[in-house]
Amino acid sequence: MCGIIGVIDRRRECMNGSKIKEALSQMNERGSGEGAGYVAYGIYPEYKEYFALHIFFDNIRENKAALDTLLEKWGTIVHDEQIKTYEQHNIRKVHTPWRYFFRPDRSLMPKSITPDEDIVTHLVMKVNAAKNGALIFSSGKNLGVFKAAGWPEDVAEFYRIQDYKGYLWMGHNRYPTNTPGWWGGAHPFNLLNWSVVHNGEITSYGTNRRYIESYGYECTMYTDTEVVAYLFDLLVRKHGLSEKMAVRALAPPFWDEIDTMPEKERELNRAIRLTYGSAMMNGPYAICVANEHSLVGFTDRIKLRPLVTGELGDRVYISSEESAIRKLEPEVGKIAMPRAGEPVIGKVYV
């Protein structure tokens, strides 16, 4: 099941996290109390130049020194601190969440055109694959993921997400089947500025994983969702596709439709399918993907999971349930249900 929600203010007006907590709790029928999480963009304006790394440490004394050393080898730790948490009787604090603001030393990645991002990606893959009591679950600039095993309202209170102000929020209410109780398995998944919340199961995961791993990404989270973040990173950041075209590659039209398109469009869609066949995602899913500029929602090619959108003023809302959107904004208009595979994109004005 799982319930997802996302909202973006296209003028970058900030919202605090209290409403998103209520909206996500509205979908508790879709969860099981074993995982919930939020991501907010725009929350670290004073450190916006640096990569904000959120880490789960199993044990500060044992695991932190090694990570410090690794980060200092690849750049500078501008600031680091424990992420404030507030005890909730429903949440067993099995990890200590920590945040670093990190500046990579780009001279260490001389051949890359995006050296900063490549260093951070490399660190995320390395640390998470090593499984040495540290997990980097958030690595973008001016954004942060907050997640744990528990009900949405408990996780929200645990981090007091109402104290953070962001112009783009996403939330996820989890009904786990694969890794219940593991904090790393809760959504959102994040890499650099990409965050993903996902309801469903990707039946093409094996194909997608083999494809993305040949580009140097490593899937370490025992779940199909992380592959979505990596695919977006590859298609949009590295291959330069627009978000719309990236969704076209991941959930393309059927050949029957393509065959009847006008020639130019047909050639374009054929090229996308031929090139990105291994990136195509199959199976039932509804997904929200965000980066610093946009919020994108889309479903699988035959819409086996629900997705509803709404709009009010500068804000675009995407969720599994209309009731959740209404909790966030009772006055919301333009409620719509996007067609299968059709992306809904909310993009900041500047």
Partner 1 sequence: MTIGSVPLRFRVSIDPDRCMLCGRCVENCSYDVFRKDGDEIRINSRNCVACHRCLAFCPRDAIDIAEKPTDYRSHPLWTREIREAIFNQAKTGKIILSGMGNALPYPVIFDRLVLDACQVTNPSIDPLREPMELRTYLGKKPGQISLRETPNGDVELKTNLTPNLQIETPIMVAHMSYGAISLNAQLSLAKAVSRIGTFMGTGEGGLHEALYPYQQHMIVQVASGRFGVDINYLERGAAIEIKIGQGAKPGIGGHLPGEKVCADISCTRMIPEGSDAISPAPHHDIYSIEDLKQLVRSLKEATEWKKPVFVKIAAVHNSAAIAAGIARSSADAVVIDGFRGGTGAAPRVFRDHVGIPIEAAVASVDAKLRQQRIRNEVSIIASGGIRESADVAKVIALGADAVYIGTSALVAMGCRVCGTCYRGLCAWGIATQRPDLVARLNPDEASVQVENLIHGWTLELAELMGAAGINSIESLRGNRDRLRGYMLDEGMMKVLDVMPVGA
| Binding interface with partner 1 (CB under 8 A) | 177, 200-201, 203-207, 209-211, 213-215, 238-242, 245, 254-256, 264, 267-268, 270-278, 280-284, 301-302, 304
Strand partners of residue 124? none
Active site residue 2: yes
State how far the Cα of 121 lies from the Cα of 73, in Å rounded to an integer: 15
284 vs 306, beta carbon nearer partner 1: 284
CB of 231 to partner 1, least distance (A): 13
CB of 161 to partner 1, least distance (A): 29
CA distances from 49 to 13, 144, 164, 271, 316 (A): 19, 14, 18, 37, 26
193 vs 199, beta carbon nearer partner 1: 199
The letter for the amino acid at 3 is G
Can you tell me which residue has the tokens 């439709």?
A: 257
Can you tell me which residue has the tokens 């065959």?
A: 259
E strand intervals along the chain:
3-9, 15-16, 36-41, 51-57, 75-82, 96-104, 134-138, 143-148, 165-166, 168-173, 189-191, 194-200, 285-290, 294-299, 308-312, 315-319, 333-336, 344-347
248 vs 327, beta carbon nearer partner 1: 248
Question: In the Cβ-directed half-sphere of 2, how many Cα atoms lie within 13 Å?
Answer: 29
138 vs 208, beta carbon nearer partner 1: 208
CB of 157 to partner 1, least distance (A): 29
- Closest to 286 measured CA to CA, from 349, 337, 237, 239: 337
Can you tell me which residue has the tokens 């997608």?
A: 208
86 vs 254, beta carbon nearer partner 1: 254
3-class state of residue 197 by DSSP? strand
State how far the Cα of 232 lies from the Cα of 236, in Å rounded to an integer: 6
154 vs 201, beta carbon nearer partner 1: 201
Residues with a catalytic annotation lie at 2
